[in-house]
Amino acid sequence: MAEVWVLRLGHRPSRDKRVTTHVALAARALGARGIAVSTKDPELEKVVRSVVERFGGDFEIRTGVKWREFVGQFDGDVVHLTMYGIHIDDAIERIGSENVLVIVGAEKVPPEVYQMAKFNVAVGNQPHSEVAALAVFLDRLMKGGGLRKDFKGRLRILPCERGKKVVSDSE
Amino acid sequence: MAEVWVLRLGHRPSRDKRVTTHVALAARALGARGIAVSTKDPELEKVVRSVVERFGGDFEIRTGVKWREFVGQFDGDVVHLTMYGIHIDDAIERIGSENVLVIVGAEKVPPEVYQMAKFNVAVGNQPHSEVAALAVFLDRLMKGGGLRKDFKGRLRILPCERGKKVVSDSE
**Interface contact flag, B26 A129, Cβ < 8 Å:** yes
Q: What is the pLDDT of residue A122?
A: 98
Q: Any CB–CB contact under 8 A between A134 and chain B? A: yes
pTM, two decimals, is: 0.97
**Interface contact flag, B120 A22, Cβ < 8 Å:** no
Helix (H) or strand (E) holding B122: strand B119-122
Q: How far apart are the first and last CA of chain A?
A: 34
Q: How large is the greatest C-alpha to C-alpha distance in chain A, in angstroms?
A: 51
- Residue of B49, B83, B125 to mutate for A, most A C-beta atoms under 10 A: B125
Q: Enter the DSSP assignment of B58.
A: -
Contacts of A5 (CB under 8 A, 6+ apart): A32, A33, A34, A35, A36, A74, A99, A100, A101, A102
* pLDDT tens per residue across span B71-97: 999 999 999 999 999 999 999 999 987
CB within 8 Å of chain B, chain A residues 10-49: 18-19, 21-23, 25-26, 28-30
Q: Enter the DSSP assignment of B161.
A: S
* pLDDT tens per residue across span B44-71: 999 999 999 999 999 999 999 999 999 9
Domain containing residue A44 = 4-168
Average pLDDT score, chain B: 96
CB within 8 Å of chain B, chain A residues 149-168: 151, 156-166
Q: What is the pLDDT of residue A171?
A: 54
Percent of chain B with pLDDT over 90: 94
* Contact by Cβ (8 Å): B102, B134: yes
- CA distance to partner chain B, nearest, from residue A65 (Å): 23
* pLDDT tens per residue across span B90-126: 999 999 878 999 999 998 899 999 999 999 999 999 9
Q: Chain A residues with CB inside 8 Å of B139's CB?
A: 136, 139-140
- CA distance to partner chain B, nearest, from residue A146 (Å): 9
Tally of structural domains, chain A: 1
Which of B109, B134, B156, B126 minimizes the C-alpha distance to A155? B126
Q: How far apart are CA A133 and CA A130, in angstroms?
A: 5
Q: What is the pLDDT of residue A107?
A: 79
**Band of residue B127 on the pLDDT scale cut at 50, 70, 90:** very high
Number of H helices, E strands in chain B: 6, 8
Which of B21, B82, B8 minimizes the C-alpha distance to B52? B21
CATH number at residue A81: 3.40.1280.10
Strand ranges inside B64-137, DSSP E: 77-87, 100-105, 119-122
* Contact by Cβ (8 Å): B2, A104: no
Q: Which residues of chain A have pLDDT under 70?
A: 1, 170-171
